[in-house]
């Protein structure tokens, strides 16, 4: 199953080291470009920012 996510589930689960639960529930997670930019485009350390850039099962739609 593919699921589209906003920022909150990713950052909250990453903050408690449980982000892997999303992969277990849904084989692939799609995040909108705006969510990606919100997480990686800030100066402070957002939980999950590294993961959305590196985990292959978290994907950003290409236009």
Domain boundaries, the chain: 2-59
What pLDDT shows up at residue 63?
Answer: 67
> pLDDT value at position 44?
67
Supply the pTM of this predicted model.
Answer: 0.85
Q: Give the pLDDT score at 11.
A: 95
Which of 60, 41, 45, 51 has its CA nearest to residue 14?
51
pLDDT tens string 4-53: 899 999 999 999 999 999 999 998 999 999 999 999 987 668 999 999 99
- Amino acid 42: pLDDT: 74
Burial of 41 (0-12, 13-18, 19+ CB in 10 A): exposed
């Amino acid at each position: 199953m593919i699921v589209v996510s906003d920022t909150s589930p990713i950052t909250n689960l990453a903050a408690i080291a449980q982000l892997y639960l999303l992969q277990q529930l849904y084989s692939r997670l799609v995040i909108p470009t705006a969510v990606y930019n919100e997480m990686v485009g800030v100066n402070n350390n957002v939980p999950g920012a590294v993961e959305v850039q590196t985990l292959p099962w978290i994907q950003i739609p290409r236009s």
